[in-house]
Amino acid sequence: MGRLLDKLIQGTPACVVKPESDGFTLVGKPDHLAEFSDLVREAVDHAGDDFIVFTTSDGQNGYSKMFVLPLDEKRNQESTGQVRAFPG
């Protein structure tokens, strides 16, 4: 699932990616919420080995935001520019 995590880090036309201290937040663009919601559902379905996700509903049937926490320390450092140890 490394390719999906890379896709999330790089972003898509449906969202803006904001680096955070432990991962990154993807914010859906208002005119692309259906496409963004599909991306969130894909991430939720494949979360577990490489990353975990925390989602924010748009109040209807979709999503407006998603926080992605990479579980691989090296990838987390690459995406945020910080070294962060995760308990394991």
- Confirm if 67 and 25 have CB atoms less than 8 A apart: yes
The overall longest dimension of the chain from CA atoms, in Å, is 39
pLDDT, tens digit, for every residue of 55-79? 999 888 899 999 999 997 654 455 5
CATH of domain 2-73: 3.90.1070
pLDDT, tens digit, for every residue of 18-52? 999 999 999 999 999 999 999 999 999 999 988 99
Tell me the torsion sign for CA atoms 16, 35, 65, 19: negative
Question: Where along the chain do its domains lie?
Answer: 2-73
